[in-house]
Structure 1
Amino acid sequence: MLQAWALLAFILPVVVFSSEIVFDSQNVFTDTKNIVLPNTINSKLDDSNATGLEPVYPESWLANLFYQSLVGFSVTDVGNSACRLQSNLYLSHLKNNSYWAVKMSDSWPRYLNGLLIGNTHHMGVYDECISVHHPIQGKYCLSTIELQTSTNENFTQYSKDEYTSFDNAWQEILGFIDYGDRYNRNVIKLGVCIPEACTSEDLEVSLQRELDRIFLAHQLSTQVKVKPDYCNTNISFFPYDTGYYLTCICIALLILVVSFSTAYHLVALRNVRENKISQVSEITNIFSIISNGKELLKFKKNNELNMFNGLSSSLMMLIIISHGWIVSVAAPHLYPRPIEEFFQDTHNNFFLSLSNGIDPFLFISGYILYTIMITKFRKPGCNWFQIPKIIIYKYLKSLPVHITMILLTIFIIPHMGNGPLWANKSGLEANKCKQYWWTNLLVINNFIEGEKQCLFAGYYISLQLQLMVIGIIVVYIYGKNRKIGTGVLALLISASLILPFALTYYSKSEGITKFNISFFLNLSESTRSYSYHFTHLYSKLYVRGLPFYIGLLSGIIVEVFKKKYIKMSKTTTIITTMVAFGLYMYVQLYSNVFYQRHRDYNVMESSLYTVLGHLNTSLLYLWIAICQTTSSDYFLEKYLNKRFRILLHKLSYSIYLVNLTVTYMIVSSVRTSEVLTSGIIIMKCIYIILTSLLSALIMHLFVDAPFGLLINRVLLGRSSRKVKND
């Protein structure tokens, strides 16, 4: 019966509120007056038809033009003499059908397909190209070709949302408009196999010249770009520098220490079983996998925070899946139409509404911080000198895993794979960390532009630590003086409501950070700022603190309810949780309207939703905290207070920092475009989750747990096993 009520709580809101946010593909209702907005692009098309003007398209199709340009292409007539010699050798042997030369020629495509449906990557066979070693080494390069018209005609005025069977196919290419929910039709990524002596610049010049010869005759122009990190041979693109060897030595020493400590602990345990005298030293206890594993498996069922810890671990699984989806969207796809339809379907699309996905974690952090710290600060002997000590302790505890991931990203991960995309993807992350690692250590990386941040997901660590500092100060003040503490907290909540509204209103930005196809492609390339909203509103302390502050407020409210012994019946908690979840889903799914095409921008709507989107999540979790406190048998408590969920919660910090890097490594290793069927998506999610959990477990046992205990021992001067890990 309880499971039925729980299931109904999740299904009912969607049924009740789904009719409230149904959007027609052409007509969108933006306010209570039901103003119907026209399709402005289609209206331009109607105007052009009314004047009798017709666009002039090339007679030959795009794939034919590419074939004419590429069928006899080779890198020739460039300034690099070594390249000219190897190219001439390649061409002479190709005429004689020499095995090595034909392998190079056979490894990349000439006639491109899928151009109309959005297949942007035509990669050929990477391994066939680089497997050529004699008499020359094959080099694989992935070039980017952007297609435009060489006339001044604006084909976008003839564009449609959907084309009929007898529309001209060229319009889909020349009239492409980036709505954010489609892959570019006018950008092609083409894999080419060239001799090793030829550089990316040589290929760029030769390919540009050859394409111009064919395309300009049809009033089309191309712009070719070949980045050096998109050209690879069988030799690693990245140098084995001093940093690489030092990092390898540190990792080897750590593995040696952990292995020795674990082996020594095993011997000690065997001696105990044989009634022999044996003692495990403190340092052995700290680095032993046995000790840290036992600590990881510990489970205290009566801990009142278990429900929120279990909720946090459950949400972390959603984070892993979301990160996997983010990276996969930017990967090569043979048939990307299902992905485009996913982003174009704005009817109750829950994944489009996850731009505030970190809000639950911020709320839980604030709630747990208050619950743990208020008792400590109310002790008579506690003074403000405790504040910097706690802050330093929390900061130092966050460093080992964070520093390890930065070192791995810069020096180790680039050498752990290969493929057409590997050097570029891993190189981008490595270069960002080489330049901006100090922002992570100074806990300010969430204040720099998104495309410059080392460890893209690392912004949350800085945001969390910044809020933690504020939260500790607020809790201390409240513990010493309730009126002043309440006033400070009210001021912070008010500022967190006003600032996002004001910034959105005056910048005329969207009400949410739109995580669409264009955003993920920009994220993958790191070529420009992803969006104003992401750069200035998504990760900044002064606009993301609302859930955290309401988490602190929830701790105060729950404390009052406990003192007054306020109780609610089981039925009341279930019904009210259903209603709260229904309201949450309504506000959450309303964000889908911002993904609608041809929808007039409403600054007041966007400004209000910037605030309501974050307030919405906070109020739901506030009510959950109240229900847990006032009910002796809360149904979510039974579901979330489980040993496995608490185990995952202890791994959550490692999971968060590891999972995105693991996902990047998996996706960046692809050799060709893929088709995402439902079965492949499920299997890919399972693989990413299991790989992330295994990597996080290794990170926890080898880095997080031992160095956390070492910090306890050095900083607090206590036995490592006597200090609780908050």
Structure 2
Amino acid sequence: MKIFIVVFTCLLLVPDLMATATNETEASSNDFIIIARIAENISQLKSSSCRNDLKSAVDAFRERKPWAVSMFDASVKSPVGVENGVEYQFGNFDECLQIATDFKTDGVDIQPKYCLADVTMDGYVVRKTASRNVEIKNSTIVHWGVCLPASCSNEDINLLMKSLTRQSEVNIDSKKCQVKETSKFSGIDLTFGFTILSFLTIVTFSTMYHIYVIYTRKTAKLRNDVTIDEIAKSFSIIANAKKLVKESKDELGLSCVNGIKAVSMFCIISGHALVFMVGGPVQNTEFYQKESVKVQNAFLQNSPLLVDSFLLLSGFLFARLVLIEMDKRRGKINFGILYIFRYIRLTPAYLAMIGLYSTWFIRIGDGPLWKHRISLEQERCQHSWWKNILYINNYYGNDELCMFQSWYLATDTQLFILAPLLIYPLWKSIKLGSIFIGITTTISVIIPFYVTFTQKLDPTFIVWPSEITDLSANTYFINTYGKTHMRATGYIFGILAGFLAFYVNKKQITISNRTRNLLWILTSVIGIYSMYSVTLYYIPTYRYSVLESALYNSLHRLGWSVFTAWVVFASVTSEDGALKSFLSSRALVPLSRLTYCAYLTNGFIELYMYATIRTPKFMSVTNLLGETLSHVCLTFLAALVLCLLFESPIHGMEKMLLRRSSHVQSRERSSESDEFNVNSSRSASTSEISA
């Protein structure tokens, strides 16, 4: 009976075993067919070393040598999901480059090279995609990962790929080919590394000294009210962390600005994350097309308006503080000093990030896209770093923009320099100042209309995945998006809101609840329409005229500026209310003080996450939400490091310098001057504002 059961079981298993064996044979057969095709085309290759190494690899694969199997296994044999939008077929980058390390003991003398070839696949059509061009082409460019001997040149790989894929067009970019190597350090690399190490050493010793003071309660004093203790603790992590979490004073009602900055920065980072995710390798390109036409997602697609909010806050704070000081000093203010302190305030942390891009950034990661994308960013920063720190890179040399978000600092600085031309007339004569600012506002609206109409531009920066793979190469972004004359409206409205807040406070004018409610309704309608109407332009079949595009470009920023100016004005001038309570929340204060550094570090995070990707992302609402939150958290974490190392210590040193420079004045006057100089030099930036 037992023998019968065993025989019966074996008979049942025979079909399954035969099927498994057949599948394994077919898979093995397919592999050997590809290997045979490679062997047939080896003779066509130009380089003798490539022919020899590739022949050795083919022979080793037939003998099932582990290193040769890994080289074959890491390469894409046939793309999958192309018609669903999977244009990036990476293979296995890490498996390829690890061969040289894993199989040294086998006596392997062939170094592997990973390449991402651009293969035009005729007959393959991406059926569903997000693009302004709804025309379906009968071919698709597939980024095809292959692992081959490093001795093979780009020309050799090109010939081999054409033979294997049976496609007529194959392109190999040398920057998309990588080998595992230890690169040499340049003088710039060593200089930057030494600078960062020096700062870390100072921070370490400063923090240790602070700990010593906490336990011993000993301090050392120096004349002129500046103590050695202050200098020694200026780089202390403990002291600077305390400044970050310190409660913000509600002088002049400006504490609500903290919340506006924090919320705006959260949305801006989320918008940047979305741009880099949809512009990178994805599995389901149709997802973005479906979501982009949904009204609820417009705040992400129209996130440039939130950058205008920062410009408006800059103008508001600068005007608010300068007007108060003008009243005290009877109009006598040295704006040159403010320009100098602003430059000192902003540049060190900015320069540190530029240095990182130019040197060590390319060494701290890897991936199929890494070398091509990060080396491009490195070259741009090495060529144009001086344009950045002169704050002219939004006009001069913007075709090689270092740090895609750096246009903002240039625009903000230029508006900061020009702001007194509007503020002083308002202080001198309300009537003449109002006329002048009215004319300036009108011009700021007409210019975007004229530029958009004459150049037949989009109504705003429309985010299509195929056009945002590299933001710094996007025509609209580099030629129109960051120009000061295209973004001045928000800053001008900020100055106007700052003047109105100053005037209402000075004259002790009370705005009735009825008037406030009416203005809330009116400005909210304008703001909502300005933000959410952008959805219309993401409908591929929607055709808008040049006139409509020009009107939208000029008026949607005007509308958003009206709304944001009212929110700021209403929050600052009201004594209570749910909105002001939320915006003034102490929980938002640390995030608000990190916004400048977050703006600087966000590009680094986005590039790193993009260039280290190994597999295309599957996009869904939950996946994008999780990714976006991770980008926000990583950005603020990097901002914290930058702030503690550079921004906060420099700010502390700046305050000490101001104190020494004003010591010859009376103590009371010195205190007022210090506070004014510090706040004014910082008010036009995205950095912390001491309210």
Q: Place the TM-score, normalised by the shorter chain, in its bin.
A: 0.7 to 0.9
Tell me the equivalent position of 1:332: 281
Partner AA of 2:466 in structure 1: S
Measure, in 2, the Cα distance between the counterparts of 1:424 and 1:142. Answer: 10
SS in structure 1 of the partner of residue 170 of structure 2: strand
Partner AA of 1:95 in structure 2: R
Tell me the equivalent position of 1:696: 639
TM-score normalised by structure 2 residue count:
0.83
SS in structure 2 of the partner of residue 299 of structure 1: coil
Sequence identity (%):
24
Task: Answer yes or no: is the 8 Å Cα contact 2:268–2:303 preserved in 1.
Answer: no
1:109-148 map, 5 Å: 109-133=76-100, 134-147=108-121
Tell me the equivalent position of 1:634: 577
The answer to whether structure 1 residue 646 and structure 2 residue 589 are counterparts is yes
Q: Deviation string for 1:157-199 (max 9, x for gaps)?
A: xxxxxxxxxxxxx583599995268999611000000112223
Measure, in 2, the Cα distance between the counterparts of 1:464 and 1:544. Answer: 9
Task: Answer yes or no: is the 8 Å Cα contact 1:568–1:630 preserved in 2.
Answer: no
Partner AA of 2:630 in structure 1: Y
Tell me the equivalent position of 1:227: 173
The answer to whether structure 1 residue 495 and structure 2 residue 448 are counterparts is no
Q: How many residues align?
A: 623
SS in structure 2 of the partner of residue 521 of structure 1: coil
1:252-271 map, 5 Å: 252-271=197-216
Partner AA of 1:198 in structure 2: C
Task: Tell me: CA distance 1:371–1:102, structure 2 relative to 1, closer, same or farther (3 Å).
Answer: same
The answer to whether structure 1 residue 423 and structure 2 residue 377 are counterparts is no
Task: Tell me: CA distance 1:177–1:283, structure 2 relative to 1, closer, same or farther (3 Å).
Answer: closer
Tell me the equivalent position of 1:441: 389
Task: Tell me: CA distance 1:246–1:630, structure 2 relative to 1, closer, same or farther (3 Å).
Answer: closer
Task: Answer yes or no: is the 8 Å Cα contact 1:144–1:187 preserved in 2.
Answer: yes
Task: Tell me: CA distance 1:491–1:588, structure 2 relative to 1, closer, same or farther (3 Å).
Answer: same
Q: Deviation string for 1:323-354 (max 9, x for gaps)?
A: 11111112222333322322355687443333
Q: Deviation string for 1:115-165 (max 9, x for gaps)?
A: 1110001111111111111231211111112345xxxxxxxxxxxxxxxxx
Q: Deviation string for 1:636-678 (max 9, x for gaps)?
A: 1111001221221111100001012112212321222221333
Q: Structure 1: which 5+ residue stretches go unaligned?
A: 1-64, 149-169, 216-221
Task: Tell me: CA distance 1:190–1:401, structure 2 relative to 1, closer, same or farther (3 Å).
Answer: same
Task: Tell me: CA distance 1:562–1:175, structure 2 relative to 1, closer, same or farther (3 Å).
Answer: closer
Of Structure 1 and Structure 2, which has the larger fraction of its residues in helix? 2
SS in structure 2 of the partner of residue 511 of structure 1: coil
Task: Answer yes or no: is the 8 Å Cα contact 1:117–1:335 preserved in 2.
Answer: yes
Q: After TM superposition, give the deviation of residue 262 of structure 1 in Å.
A: 0.9
Tell me the equivalent position of 2:232: 284
Task: Answer yes or no: is the 8 Å Cα contact 1:129–1:193 preserved in 2.
Answer: yes
Tell me the equivalent position of 1:102: 69
Task: Answer yes or no: is the 8 Å Cα contact 2:282–2:618 preserved in 1.
Answer: yes
Tell me the equivalent position of 2:187: 242
Measure, in 2, the Cα distance between the counterparts of 1:516 and 1:703. Answer: 36
Q: Deviation string for 1:458-483 (max 9, x for gaps)?
A: 00011111111111343234334545
Q: After TM superposition, give the deviation of residue 277 of structure 1 in Å.
A: 6.5
The answer to whether structure 1 residue 676 and structure 2 residue 619 are counterparts is yes
Task: Answer yes or no: is the 8 Å Cα contact 1:66–1:112 preserved in 2.
Answer: no
Measure, in 2, the Cα distance between the counterparts of 1:245 and 1:138. Answer: 29
Task: Answer yes or no: is the 8 Å Cα contact 2:130–2:286 preserved in 1.
Answer: no
The answer to whether structure 1 residue 549 and structure 2 residue 520 are counterparts is no
Task: Tell me: CA distance 1:175–1:261, structure 2 relative to 1, closer, same or farther (3 Å).
Answer: closer
Partner AA of 1:361 in structure 2: F
Measure, in 2, the Cα distance between the counterparts of 1:643 and 1:517. Answer: 38
Measure, in 1, the Cα distance between the counterparts of 2:261 and 2:446. Answer: 28
Task: Tell me: CA distance 1:695–1:329, structure 2 relative to 1, closer, same or farther (3 Å).
Answer: same
Tell me the equivalent position of 1:359: 308
Alignment counterpart, residue 191 of structure 1, candidates 102, 127, 145? 145
Tell me the equivalent position of 1:207: 161
Task: Tell me: CA distance 1:174–1:561, structure 2 relative to 1, closer, same or farther (3 Å).
Answer: closer
Task: Tell me: CA distance 1:231–1:348, structure 2 relative to 1, closer, same or farther (3 Å).
Answer: closer
SS in structure 1 of the partner of residue 119 of structure 2: strand
Q: After TM superposition, give the deviation of residue 291 of structure 1 in Å.
A: 2.0
Task: Answer yes or no: is the 8 Å Cα contact 1:367–1:552 preserved in 2.
Answer: yes
Q: After TM superposition, give the deviation of residue 613 of structure 1 in Å.
A: 1.0
Tell me the equivalent position of 2:524: 581
1:23-102 map, 5 Å: 72-73=37-38, 76=42, 77-102=44-69
Task: Tell me: CA distance 1:378–1:597, structure 2 relative to 1, closer, same or farther (3 Å).
Answer: same
Measure, in 2, the Cα distance between the counterparts of 1:604 and 1:350. Answer: 24
Q: Deviation string for 1:42-68 (max 9, x for gaps)?
A: xxxxxxxxxxxxxxxxxxxxxxx9999
Tell me the equivalent position of 1:509: 457
Task: Answer yes or no: is the 8 Å Cα contact 2:489–2:558 preserved in 1.
Answer: yes
Task: Answer yes or no: is the 8 Å Cα contact 2:369–2:612 preserved in 1.
Answer: yes
Task: Tell me: CA distance 1:348–1:402, structure 2 relative to 1, closer, same or farther (3 Å).
Answer: closer
SS in structure 2 of the partner of residue 437 of structure 1: helix
Q: Structure 2: which 5+ residue stretches go unaligned?
A: 1-29, 101-107, 222-227, 664-669, 680-691
Partner AA of 1:123 in structure 2: F
Task: Answer yes or no: is the 8 Å Cα contact 1:367–1:551 preserved in 2.
Answer: yes
Measure, in 1, the Cα distance between the counterparts of 2:129 and 2:297. Answer: 27
The more displaced of 80-89 and 607-616 is 80-89
SS in structure 1 of the partner of residue 144 of structure 2: strand
Measure, in 2, the Cα distance between the counterparts of 1:188 and 1:93. Answer: 29
Task: Tell me: CA distance 1:668–1:193, structure 2 relative to 1, closer, same or farther (3 Å).
Answer: same
